[in-house]
């Protein structure tokens, strides 16, 4: 736990001190209607993190009260995300739908208390009767129904005797409340839909405002932590639990600021649109801000946890710069992953004065990374360098290979360009070069000064890989819709070349391709015969220009 306590932990401290709760029980309550995103990661960190810090526990509860949008595949994705981030829930996964019978009993109780009624206005009338911020609403004539009549109608709603929208159950609170949400909120609605768990058992479903507080109470939750947009729902939360005179202790709701990140969208509804419309390749597309997307791209759980820790828990909404997340993954991988060489766009170089071949022992890690390990890099007469590491007509500050300027081959020798070979269209197809035998890295006595070292691979032994380079999914900071999608968010290079050490039997590997960035063997598509690597992140923040 960091030294400076966030406001939620301060509340928990006070509640423990005052004896309000003996045990801290939180919950993470997603609706299984999409894959979880990094906003959910923040909520997961908060809820599971507080439970861990206070020796309590956190429930994973599927808030499955909306039968038309929910599915088991989303339940699995949510479980995977929580586990991947390193947390574990108390007991089994819970489902609000398991509480439907209890929640219904509470509804009957409210009706018996005269605190809830069956309304038969239509949607439009309900809206109109509710009034506005400046104008009190008026109560429906149906609010005068007797308790007996309400009980009878509610039961018949449950039995399926009515059409959708014909009746609803409402709390009887205050049609002139300043908080509009308190103007007789809806508790139950009719939905003749198939539910993925309760099947066709129910045709009435509790509204969020009724189901959520009661589910928290049923589970013995102490702190019900949600995002700021539920601030106005807190009054209903309290009203339901207080009106029902439940045995204490009861949970209280606390709100924190939702996480927003620029250059992407975050709501499951918008993400679903991208997935269903094939604007991306599934929920785990590495361009998406979904946990599955980050995982497939090669982000580590540690980097996401660090990010959530860094951004902190605030009470005011704000937009976080995506480069902050990129900093976290770079920072994590820097001390963990081996450095190797990859050439994305190969340019052939023939070293005319080199004969035979050799293997160069090269460390996997730079001096400032306290890790050991090395591999042998094959070297011979024909190699490939990055096309952009040679310039025939270099700009002023160019410090790589030119006709006049030598360059070091990383871990190997200094080479000098002797001749450029072009094809019929004037494209450079080969460089003829010479190396200096006394310039070998580590034992250089040549005295030649070079301005940089470039990556290369041995032509005879290099392996071909596919490289998937990702850019921002949207081209503007606060995307509005599909028209803001970045058309170049995915760039695939089919024939990049790597040194042999990159190809291993295990697909779960990350490398730094020197000077290119951090890469991850795609967990789905990678095979030894056709290796595929995803670019996780570049080496430095190329956006901070």
Helix (H, G, I), strand (E, B) or coil at 511: strand
**For 138-160, b where at least 16 C-beta lie within 10 A, e where not — what string?**
ebbebbebeeeebeebbeebbee
Report the candidate in 312, 335, 336, 314 with the shortest Cα–Cα distance to residue 324.
Answer: 312
Question: Which of ligand ATP, Mg ion, none sits in contact with 29, Cβ below 5 to 8 A by type?
Answer: ligand ATP
Interface positions, 265-284, toward ligand ATP (CB under 6 A): 266-268
- In the complex, the smallest distance separating the C-beta of residue 164 from Mg ion, rounded to whole angstroms, is 21
If one asks whether residue 137 binds ligand ATP (CB under 6 A), the answer comes out as no
Question: Which of Mg ion, ligand ATP, none sits in contact with 295, Cβ below 5 to 8 A by type?
Answer: none
Residue closer to ligand ATP by CB (options 221, 259) is: 259
Instruction: State the Cα–Cα distance between residues 545 and 542, nearest whole angstrom.
Output: 6
Residue closer to Mg ion by CB (options 56, 289) is: 289
- In the complex, the smallest distance separating the C-beta of residue 47 from ligand ATP, rounded to whole angstroms, is 8
- In the complex, the smallest distance separating the C-beta of residue 227 from Mg ion, rounded to whole angstroms, is 9
Distances, alpha carbon 387 to alpha carbons 9, 155, 384, 391, 428, in Å: 54, 75, 9, 9, 9
> Cα-atom radius of gyration of the chain, to the nearest Å?
31
Question: Which of Mg ion, ligand ATP, none sits in contact with 343, Cβ below 5 to 8 A by type?
Answer: none
Q: Which two structure tokens, joined as six digits, stand for 92?
A: 């089994």
Count of chain residues binding Mg ion (CB under 5 A): 1
What residues are annotated to the active site?
Answer: 31, 258, 268
Report the candidate in 121, 131, 80, 20 with the shortest Cα–Cα distance to residue 283.
Answer: 80
Question: Which of ligand ATP, Mg ion, none sits in contact with 227, Cβ below 5 to 8 A by type?
Answer: ligand ATP
Interface positions, 98-127, toward ligand ATP (CB under 6 A): none
Interface positions, 23-42, toward Mg ion (CB under 5 A): 31
| Residue with the shortest CB distance to Mg ion | 31
Question: Which of ligand ATP, Mg ion, none sits in contact with 40, Cβ below 5 to 8 A by type?
Answer: ligand ATP
Distances, alpha carbon 443 to alpha carbons 74, 361, 413, 438, 446, in Å: 58, 13, 10, 8, 9
Report the candidate in 526, 521, 496 with the shortest Cα–Cα distance to residue 509.
Answer: 521
Sheet strands (E) in 233-356: 252-256, 259-261, 318-320, 339-340, 342-343, 346-351
- In the complex, the smallest distance separating the C-beta of residue 278 from Mg ion, rounded to whole angstroms, is 22
Interface positions, 209-238, toward ligand ATP (CB under 6 A): 226-227
Question: Which of ligand ATP, Mg ion, none sits in contact with 411, Cβ below 5 to 8 A by type?
Answer: none
**Could you identify the residue written with the tokens 């309290």?**
238
Residue closer to Mg ion by CB (options 40, 167) is: 40
Which residue intervals of 381-456 are DSSP H helices? none
Residue closer to ligand ATP by CB (options 78, 157) is: 78
Residue closer to ligand ATP by CB (options 318, 528) is: 318
Question: Which of Mg ion, ligand ATP, none sits in contact with 43, Cβ below 5 to 8 A by type?
Answer: ligand ATP
Q: Is the separation of the CB atoms in 533 and 468 below 8 Å?
A: yes
- In the complex, the smallest distance separating the C-beta of residue 222 from ligand ATP, rounded to whole angstroms, is 15
The residue range among 17-25, 264-272, 426-434, 463-471 that interacts with ligand ATP, by the rule CB under 6 A, is: 264-272
Residue closer to ligand ATP by CB (options 33, 486) is: 33
Residue closer to ligand ATP by CB (options 191, 336) is: 191
Question: Which of Mg ion, ligand ATP, none sits in contact with 258, Cβ below 5 to 8 A by type?
Answer: ligand ATP
Count of chain residues binding ligand ATP (CB under 6 A): 16
Question: Which of ligand ATP, Mg ion, none sits in contact with 52, Cβ below 5 to 8 A by type?
Answer: none
Report the candidate in 525, 523, 461, 451 with the shortest Cα–Cα distance to residue 492.
Answer: 525
- In the complex, the smallest distance separating the C-beta of residue 4 from ligand ATP, rounded to whole angstroms, is 20
Supply the angle between the helices 38-53 and 7-17 in degrees, to the nearest 10: 30
Per-residue contact string for residues 51-70; x = within reach of ligand ATP by CB under 6 A: ------------x-------
- Dihedrals φ, ψ of 375, to 5°? -140, 170
- In the complex, the smallest distance separating the C-beta of residue 268 from Mg ion, rounded to whole angstroms, is 5
Per-residue contact string for residues 11-50; x = within reach of ligand ATP by CB under 6 A: ------------------xxx--x----xx-xx-------
- In the complex, the smallest distance separating the C-beta of residue 403 from ligand ATP, rounded to whole angstroms, is 54
Distances, alpha carbon 441 to alpha carbons 157, 408, 437, in Å: 82, 8, 10
- In the complex, the smallest distance separating the C-beta of residue 251 from ligand ATP, rounded to whole angstroms, is 13
Which residues lie below 8 Å from residue 134, measured CB to CB, with a gap of 6+? Answer: none
Q: Which two structure tokens, joined as six digits, stand for 493?
A: 């290079």
Interface positions, 244-263, toward ligand ATP (CB under 6 A): 258-259
Burial grade of 360 (CB within 10 A; 0-12, 13-18, 19 or more): buried
Interface positions, 515-544, toward ligand ATP (CB under 6 A): none
DSSP structural state of residue 233: G
Sheet strands (E) in 48-182: 57-62, 94-95, 116-119, 168-171
Q: Are strands 57-62 and 25-28 parallel, antiparallel or unpaired?
A: parallel
HSE of 171 in the Cβ direction (CA atoms, 13 Å)? 24
- Using CB under 6 A, list all residues that contact ligand ATP: 29-31, 34, 39-40, 42-43, 63, 226-227, 258-259, 266-268
- Using CB under 5 A, list all residues that contact Mg ion: 31
């Amino acid at each position: 736990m960091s030294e400076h306590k966030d406001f939620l932990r301060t509340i928990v401290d006070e509640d423990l001190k005052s004896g309000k709760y003996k045990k801290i029980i939180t919950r993470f309550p997603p609706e299984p209607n999409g894959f979880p995103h990094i906003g959910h990661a923040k909520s997961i960190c908060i809820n599971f993190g507080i439970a861990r810090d206070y020796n309590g526990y956190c429930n994973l509860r599927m808030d499955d009260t909306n039968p038309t949008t929910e599915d088991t595949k989303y339940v699995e994705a949510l479980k995977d995300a929580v586990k991947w981030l390193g947390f574990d829930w108390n007991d089994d996964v819970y489902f609000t739908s398991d509480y439907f019978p209890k929640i219904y009993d509470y509804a009957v109780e409210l009706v018996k208390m005269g605190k809830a009624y069956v309304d038969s206005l239509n949607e439009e009338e309900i809206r109109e009767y509710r009034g506005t911020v400046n104008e009190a609403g008026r109560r429906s004539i149906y609010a005068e129904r007797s308790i007996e009549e309400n009980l009878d109608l509610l039961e018949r709603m449950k039995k399926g005797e009515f059409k959708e929208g014909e009746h609803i159950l409402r709390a009887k609170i205050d049609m002139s409340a300043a908080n509009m949400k308190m103007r007789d909120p809806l508790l139950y609605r009719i939905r003749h839909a198939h539910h993925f768990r309760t099947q066709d058992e129910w045709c009435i479903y509790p509204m969020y405002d009724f189901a959520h507080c009661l589910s928290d109470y049923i589970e013995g939750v102490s702190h019900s932590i949600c995002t700021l947009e539920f601030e106005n729902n807190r009054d209903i939360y309290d009203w339901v639990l207080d009106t029902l005179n439940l045995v204490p202790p009861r949970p209280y709701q606390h709100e924190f600021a939702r996480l927003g990140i620029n250059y992407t969208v975050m709501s499951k509804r918008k993400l679903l649109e991208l997935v269903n419309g094939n604007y991306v390749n599934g929920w785990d597309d590495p361009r998406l801000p979904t946990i599955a997307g980050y995982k497939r791209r090669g982000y580590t759980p540690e980097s996401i946890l660090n990010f959530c820790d860094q951004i902190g828990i605030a009470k005011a909404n704000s937009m976080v710069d995506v480069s902050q997340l990129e900093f976290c993954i770079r920072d994590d991988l820097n001390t963990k992953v081996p450095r190797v060489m990859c050439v994305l766009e190969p340019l052939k170089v023939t070293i005319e004065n080199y004969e035979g071949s050799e293997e160069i022992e090269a460390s996997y890690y730079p001096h400032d990374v306290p890790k050991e390990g090395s591999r042998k890099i094959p070297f011979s007469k024909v190699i490939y360098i990055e096309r952009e590491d040679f310039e025939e007509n270099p700009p002023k500050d160019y410090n790589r290979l030119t006709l006049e300027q030598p360059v070091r081959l990383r871990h190997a020798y200094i080479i000098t360009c002797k001749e450029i070979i072009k094809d019929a269209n004037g494209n450079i197809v080969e460089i003829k070069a010479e190396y200096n035998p006394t310039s070998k890295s580590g034992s250089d006595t040549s005295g030649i000064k070079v301005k940089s070292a470039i990556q290369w691979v041995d032509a005879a032994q290099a392996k071909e890989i596919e490289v998937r380079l990702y850019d921002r999914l949207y081209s503007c900071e606060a995307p509005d819709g599909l028209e803001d999608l970045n058309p170049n968010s995915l760039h695939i290079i089919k024939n990049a070349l790597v040194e042999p050490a990159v190809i291993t039997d295990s697909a779960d590997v990350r490398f730094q391709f020197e000077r290119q960035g951090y890469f991850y063997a795609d967990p789905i598509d990678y095979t030894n015969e056709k290796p595929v690597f995803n670019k996780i992140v570049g080496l430095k923040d190329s956006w901070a220009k």
